[in-house]
């Protein structure tokens, strides 16, 4: 997982500052009590203890020591598999963007042609993100065979859920005044959309596509565990053969690749959507010179009444990013081992394969289904608690307005970036190899991912607090600790509650697939049913996962709305 931006809750929907909620608020109190009770049950259900917790970390440390030094004689194969992983993420993201654009316009309130179309489009976007990518890839591999093709299809369909949702929100948040002005000239509806809405949403859509590409790269790295291509298949093969030194070499290749691509995509996304430091006081001389040059170009274009926009920095960056993306896409399509022109022939096989999952059989594995779903839920709650305990101090240390020493901030953010370079499922594989099968290694792996993701969100939330209350408390002679407790924490607390609920939502989704690598939960039953081609049970499991994830999403949305 990569860090996602969660809007601060210190402002209401009109953008006006508001008072932070108090813990005596009944809603917050009920949420807190419910979370504590569910976490206590979860902790007991999976037999988690402090001895097990620290013992698992010790076992992982012993395994890592055994894995070093890595043996890189499989580097060519690892590099080939990593490149295949990159191409899978690139093609899957492109498919999702192509599908999401029309869906978003049909699902947006200000562009949808009919309420029925609006409801159907919204339903499709919601449904596509309800089943995890790894589950889709496991099912598609039955009909499409082993290789990258089922992984690409799974990535493309699942990504529509996120990309379509964010595209829709971007369309709905566009300014109405330009549309009104163009409509007054007699332009039609679609002419108005092309002239006013699309120019407004392009930066946000490019940023969303880059962010989803970053996520898909992490997800495609583990699709090989179900035979859907990528470097995950190589890692799984080496671990099954107990060849740990070659396994860690393959892990290191994908780790370096993911970290580098995240740095590049984050930089591009920040520049394109204008999220970089843009105030003159925070810009260096080179940035100021670029801003001055762009201003001159804009003034020259206005004075000469040019019909085409000038080639300012942002336009060059967007066009350059687009050309680079298209070039890489062409290379990917011509080098990856998948059908391109004849891909449509697999449509009937895919439909028949999905059709064989129904009617689902809930009776044959009823006990295992119930046990798997309870275990999945317990893993999600426990990992959220443990991740939060680790994330709070890391988030504080990474906040630039709280910690004055730049070296501490850089070290904290560097550690978070490095740990995020490993997909959670690969971490789960390492824990399972060190501790054996069961929910505890899966919980610990999910805890690490939760801690790094939450720490970034907490750091961002702390940096968004208003300075006036802090200055007022400092003026009374309070220490920095007293200032933090009385002026910073009350402002950040609602945001912390929202982020914890968001992470619980994410973790409950992620825990449904941990069992595929032996990390507990319903994923173990799913993989076993796929291996013996028990398609009726597979259908029952997928429906159960869908209902759980969808219920969690509805509950999470409702609770976050109550908190806000």
Q: Report the pLDDT value the prediction gives residue 482, as an integer from 0 to 100.
A: 79
CB–CB of 500/389 below 8 Å?
no
Name the token pair of 37.
Answer: 């009770």
Q: Point out the residues of the chain with pLDDT beneath 50.
A: 1-24, 275-283
Residue owning tokens 């997909």: 423
Q: d(Cα 158, Cα 216) in Å, to the nearest integer?
A: 10
Q: Report the pLDDT value the prediction gives residue 563, as an integer from 0 to 100.
A: 56
* Domain positions in the chain: 73-276+311-349
Options 3.10.580.10, 3.30.160.150, 1.10.3720.10, 1.10.760.10; CATH for 73-276+311-349 is 1.10.3720.10
Query: Is 11 strand, coil or helix?
Result: strand
Burial class (CB in 10 A: 0-12, 13-18, 19+), 254: buried
End-to-end CA distance of the chain: 25
Q: Report the pLDDT value the prediction gives residue 18, as an integer from 0 to 100.
A: 44
Q: Looking at the whole model, is its pTM more than 0.85?
A: no
Q: d(Cα 88, Cα 229) in Å, to the nearest integer?
A: 8
Q: d(Cα 469, Cα 10) in Å, to the nearest integer?
A: 13
The string over 389-400, giving b where at least 16 C-beta atoms fall within 10 Å of a residue's C-beta and e elsewhere, is ebbeebbbbbbe
């Amino acid at each position: 997982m990569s860090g996602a931006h969660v809007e601060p809750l210190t402002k209401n929907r009109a953008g006006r500052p508001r008072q932070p909620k108090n813990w005596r608020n009944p809603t917050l109190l009920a949420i807190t009590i419910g979370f504590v009770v569910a976490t206590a049950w979860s902790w007991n259900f999976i037999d988690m203890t402090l001895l097990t917790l620290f013992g698992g970390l010790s076992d992982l440390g012993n395994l890592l020591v055994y894995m070093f030094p890595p043996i890189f004689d499989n580097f060519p194969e690892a590099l080939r598999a990593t490149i295949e992983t990159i191409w899978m993420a690139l093609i899957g993201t492109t498919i999702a963007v192509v599908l999401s654009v029309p869906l978003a316009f049909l699902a947006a309130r200000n562009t949808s042609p009919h309420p029925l179309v609006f409801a159907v489009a919204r339903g499709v976007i919601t449904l596509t993100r309800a089943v995890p990518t790894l589950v889709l890839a496991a099912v598609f591999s039955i009909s499409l065979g082993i290789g990258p093709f089922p992984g690409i299809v799974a990535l493309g369909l699942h990504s529509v859920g996120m990309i379509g949702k964010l595209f829709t929100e971007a369309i709905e948040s566009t300014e109405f005044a330009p549309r009104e002005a163009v409509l007054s000239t007699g332009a039609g509806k679609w002419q108005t959309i092309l002239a006013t809405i699309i120019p407004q949403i392009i930066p946000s859509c490019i940023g969303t596509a880059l962010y989803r590409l970053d996520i898909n790269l992490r997800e495609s790295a583990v699709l090989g565990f179900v035979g859907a291509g990528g470097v995950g298949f190589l890692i799984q093969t080496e671990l099954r053969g107990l060849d740990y030194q070659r396994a860690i070499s393959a892990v290191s290749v994908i780790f370096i690749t993911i970290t580098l691509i995240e740095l590049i995509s984050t930089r591009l996304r920040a520049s394109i959507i204008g999220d970089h430091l843009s105030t003159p006081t925070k810009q260096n001389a080179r940035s100021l010179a670029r801003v001055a040059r762009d201003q001159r170009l804009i003034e020259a274009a206005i004075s000469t009444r040019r019909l085409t926009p000038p080639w300012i920095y942002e336009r060059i960056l967007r066009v350059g990013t687009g050309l680079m993306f298209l070039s890489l896409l062409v290379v990917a399509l011509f080098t990856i081992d998948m059908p391109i022109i004849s891909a449509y022939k697999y449509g009937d096989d895919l439909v028949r394969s999905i059709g064989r999952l129904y009617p689902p059989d809930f009776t044959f594995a009823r006990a295992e289904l119930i046990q798997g779903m309870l275990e999945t839920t317990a893993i999600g709650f426990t990992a959220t608690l443990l991740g939060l305990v680790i994330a709070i101090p890391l988030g504080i240390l990474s906040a630039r307005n709280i910690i004055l020493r730049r070296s501490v901030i850089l070290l904290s953010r560097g550690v978070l970036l490095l740990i995020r370079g490993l997909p959670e499922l690969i971490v789960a594989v390492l824990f399972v190899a060190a501790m054996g099968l069961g929910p505890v290694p899966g919980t610990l792996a999910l805890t690490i991912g939760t801690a790094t993701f939450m720490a970034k969100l907490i750091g961002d939330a702390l940096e968004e607090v208003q300075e006036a209350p802090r200055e007022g408390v400092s003026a009374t002679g309070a220490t920095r600790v007293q200032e933090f407790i009385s002026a910073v924490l009350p402002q950040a607390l609602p945001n912390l509650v929202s982020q914890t609920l968001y992470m619980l939502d994410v973790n409950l989704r992620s825990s449904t697939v941990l069992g595929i690598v032996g990390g507990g939960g319903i994923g173990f039953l799913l993989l076993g049913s796929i291996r013996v081609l028990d398609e009726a049970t597979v259908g029952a499991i997928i429906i159960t996962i869908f209902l759980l994830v969808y219920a969690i999403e509805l509950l999470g949305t409702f609770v976050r709305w109550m908190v806000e």
